[in-house]
């Protein structure tokens, strides 16, 4: 079993900021917009180096989405930045009409997704954003797992024509993907080969899946772990190949089970290769205040929850 080393905890949003800094230097068409959350999105360096290519919109997310759509008319590549809740639910119709239906090359970059936003509570902890965004025709949906991957994804989406939702988070988490790993949109990454069960995880749950796989190995269970950073378009081939070998699957995400990664996978498997599946996800509930660790424990979104889900799914093979 391959060992993954934490290169030092860091937040995924800093990966976004680092990616933006690099894009600021390498791609003159990239512009950044923010709705009064520059510090949270870590884009100070981009602004310092490219003041003309930064637009402070103020607390007006609907306007931000429209302005971003307009900036594409003229060849710009706008990256919008705010919390995931304000990037999606608050501005759904603006994204739907002015961006997705109009096929605008806007990158909607969303920090503080999910429960790990922590103490601010449910008003800010969106657990429905993946579903909202994946339902929009033509929208690419990405949820990165660590600092390195978020930076790589930020660079990659600038070269992809079309609307993208890039989802990342607030807390410092393990940084374990290779620093030079190229980000390929829509291409799952096989982290560990196994034969008894497939664990497909996205975002912060990828690291938890690796810990779970280690613990399962001690019980004699061989788990295959897949990092599926792109929820749409889904790498169906990678999932199918794995479940044809293992015969069962656990999906893990920091999102409601309705509308999330697990739902996308179950829908695909139902038509192509029916497979027993268990969901590590929130169960149609809002979050609450607490530390990220407390919340992930309470809502069943950590390595222990993944191990339990594996044990359940193995009985259904």
Partner 1 sequence: MCTQKIATTFGNRKKSTMPKLQELQDIVQQTRRDILRMVHKVNSGHPGGSLGCTEFMVALYNEIMELKDGFDMNGIGEDLFFLSNGHISPLFYSVLARKGYFPISELNTFRLINSRLQGHPATHEGLPGIRVASGSLGQGMSVAIGAALAKKLNQDKHLVYSLHGDGELQEGQNWEAIMYAAANKVDNLISTVDHNGQQIDGPTNKVLPMGDLAEKFRVFGWDVLEVKQGNDLKSVIDGLKEAKSRTGKGKPVCIIMDTIMGHGVDFMMYTHAWHGKAPNDDQLENALSQNPETLGDY
* Interacting residues with partner 1 (CB under 8 A): 31, 52-53, 55, 57-58, 60, 62-76, 78, 93-94, 96-98, 101-104
Q: How far is the CB of 253 from partner 1 (least distance, A)?
A: 30
Min dist CB 107 to partner 1, Å, is: 14
User: Of 302, 242, 296, nearest to 269 (Cα)?
Assistant: 242
Query: With respect to partner 1, which residue has the nearer C-beta, 68 or 166?
Result: 68
Closer CB to partner 1, 67 or 313, in the complex: 67
- 249 three-class SS: strand
> The tokens of 233 are what?
């378009």
Task: Give min distance, CB of 103 to partner 1, in A.
Answer: 6
46 near 20, Cβ under 8 Å?
yes
Give the 3-state secondary structure of residue 132: helix
Question: What is the nearest approach in angstroms of partner 1 to the Cβ of residue 76?
Answer: 5
| Cβ–Cβ < 8 Å for 102, 241 | no
Helix, strand or coil, per DSSP, at residue 278: strand
Of these residues, 22, 61, 128, 288, which one is catalytic?
61
Closer residue to partner 1 in complex, CB, 63/294? 63
* Nearer CB in complex with partner 1: 70/276: 70
Pairwise CA distance, residues 31 & 99, whole Å: 16
> What are the helix and strand counts (H, E) for the chain?
13, 14
Instruction: Find out whether 264 and 131 touch, Cβ atoms under 8 Å.
Output: no
The least CB distance from residue 40 to partner 1, in Å, is 20
**Cβ–Cβ < 8 Å for 154, 20:** yes
> For this structure, is 49 an active site residue?
no
Of the pair 109, 156, the CB lying nearest partner 1 is at: 109
Both tokens of 178, joined, read 């290779």
Residue 42: phi and psi, rounded to 5, are: 60, 40
Catalytic residues: 61
């Amino acid at each position: 079993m391959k060992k993954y080393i934490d290169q030092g905890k860091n937040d995924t949003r800093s990966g976004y900021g680092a990616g933006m800094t690099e894009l600021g230097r390498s791609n003159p068409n990239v512009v950044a917009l923010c709705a009064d959350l520059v510090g949270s999105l870590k884009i100070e360096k981009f602004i310092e180096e490219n003041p003309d290519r930064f637009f402070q919109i103020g607390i007006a997310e609907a306007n931000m989405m429209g302005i971003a759509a307009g900036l594409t008319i003229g060849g710009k590549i706008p990256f919008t930045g705010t919390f995931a809740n304000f990037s999606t639910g608050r501005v759904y119709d603006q994204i739907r009409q002015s961006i997705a239906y109009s096929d605008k090359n806007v990158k909607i970059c969303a920090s503080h997704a999910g429960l790990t936003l922590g103490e601010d509570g449910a008003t800010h902890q969106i657990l429905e954003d993946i579903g909202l965004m994946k339902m929009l025709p033509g929208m690419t949906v990405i949820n990165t797992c660590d600092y390195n991957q978020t930076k790589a994804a930020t660079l990659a989406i600038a070269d992809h024509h079309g609307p993208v939702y890039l989802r990342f988070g607030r807390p410092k988490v393990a940084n374990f993907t290779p620093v030079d790993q190229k980000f390929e949109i829509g291409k799952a990454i096989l982290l560990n080969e196994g034969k008894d069960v497939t664990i497909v995880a996205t975002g912060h749950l990828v690291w938890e899946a690796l810990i779970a796989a280690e613990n399962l190995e001690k019980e004699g269970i061989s788990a295959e772990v897949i990092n599926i950073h792109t929820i749409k378009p889904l790498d169906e081939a990678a999932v199918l190949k794995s479940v044809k070998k293992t015969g069962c699957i656990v999906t893990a995400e920091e999102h409601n089970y309705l509308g999330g990664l697990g739902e996308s996978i179950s829908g695909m498997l139902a038509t192509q290769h029916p497979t027993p599946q268990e969901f590590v996800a929130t169960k149609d509930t809002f979050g609450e205040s607490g530390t990220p660790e407390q919340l992930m424990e309470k809502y069943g979104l950590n390595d222990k929850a993944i191990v339990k889900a594996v044990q359940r799914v193995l009985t259904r093979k």
